Amino acid sequence: MKDKFQLDFDCLQVVLIIEVRGACRCNELVNFKIGDVDNVKSNLLVKISHTKTNKDRSFIIMGEQYLSIYRKYVALRPKDFIETRFLIKPK
C-alpha cells in the first residue's frame, strides 16, 4: 500500500514538472512514452511528439530536485511492466 501511494504521489509530481516546464496539453501527457525522456548529464531532455500543431518539440528540465523526483518515479515503476507509456496508474 505504501509503494502504491508513493508511486501515485511521485507520478503526480512528475506530471506537474513535465506539464508546467513543457507547457504540455493533457493528450500530450497521455501519449508520453518512456523513450521520450533522456537523462543527459544532470538534466532531462524531454521530447513531445503527436502535438496538436503536428510539430514535435523538446525541452530540458534542469535541477537536481526535479531529477531526483524523476529517478524515484522510474525506480518505483514495476520492472515487468510491458506498457511503454511513461505515466501509469498502479493497481
Over residues 10-30, the mean pLDDT reads: 75
* Residue 70 dihedral angles phi and psi, to the nearest 5°: -60, -50
- Angle made by CA atoms 20, 30, 90, in degrees to the nearest 5: 100
The mean of the pLDDT values for the chain is: 78
pLDDT at 61: 86
The Cα 33–Cα 12 span in angstroms is: 16
Residues 62-87 pLDDT 10s: 888 888 888 887 887 777 777 788 77
pLDDT at 91: 55
pLDDT at 34: 82
Residues 40-65 pLDDT 10s: 888 888 888 877 888 888 888 888 88
pLDDT at 6: 64
